[in-house]
Amino acid sequence: MTNKQLHIAVFGAHCGDAEITAGATVRKYTKAGHAATIVHLTAGEKGNVKMPPEKYRAQRIKEAEAAANILGAKCIVLDYKDGELPLTEEVKLSICDLMRKIKPDIVITHWKGSFHRDHRNCYELVMEGTFYAALPGIKRELPAHQLTALYYAENWEDPFHYKPDLWIDVSEVYDEWIEALKCHALFRGEVARFDYMRYYTGLTAMRGAEVGFARAQTFSLPPISRKRGLRFFPINEPVLIF
């Protein structure tokens, strides 16, 4: 871990996406003295058949703010509609503007291989928005900002061709992560039939077991970032031979 204070930003398509896929990692960073921002492109307000979207939106924003508070992060909820997240130049430029405003060093978002339209669009919007943000030739109100790294979080709705490259040990912040997730009615089992809590707690246990941690969250690198130029094979990385 660097001594420099970093800013980690997680962009999710709906309130809850960022918290459940990367919230433990966010808490690990904030607990180590780094800054974090969770950005929700929509509130996910259409996911409750028992409540009108306007009312559920207000509830979801409160839940997201409460969860972010536990994780030590700032919370931003944009005004796009759940299920209708537009993939347009206007939105890409708005993401560019937000990147230049909050200046993250590390960005995490959805992987592109999703069966959810909003998730796929979020992937594209964040990728293009970060690209625009880094270009001085894209003239906006604020100057250009270059990220250090972009990662994709593991999400059960984004499974197609997802390949984990990094396993982050979140054992020490696991309980705080669970506390944050319980701010969401969705994760308490009060809204959806899918058992999010069971799935993701089991996932952290499985991913941790793969690398010798009690709990872990995994992240994927952009394909171009997987290329590594080495003079010799690394001697400090264990390689299984069986």
- The H-assigned helical ranges of 32-137 are 53-71, 89-102, 117-134
pLDDT given at position 225: 83
79 CB burial (10 A radius; 0-12, 13-18, 19+): exposed
Is residue 28 within 8 Å of residue 22, measured between CB atoms?
no
Query: What's the average pLDDT block by block, 10 residues per block, for the chain (242 residues)?
Result: 86 98 98 98 94 96 98 98 97 98 98 97 98 97 97 97 97 98 96 93 98 97 83 72 54
The rounded distance, in Å, linking the Cα atoms of 223 and 113 is 13
The rounded distance, in Å, linking the Cα atoms of 242 and 111 is 31
pLDDT given at position 136: 97
DSSP character for 223?
G
| Residue located via tokens 């690394």 | 234
Strands 74-80 and 166-169: unpaired
Q: Is the dihedral of CA 162, 164, 168, 171 positive or negative?
A: positive
The rounded distance, in Å, linking the Cα atoms of 32 and 159 is 30
Q: Where do the domains of the chain lie, and which CATH numbers do they carry?
A: 7-226 (3.40.50.10320)
Structure tokens at 176: 């705080």
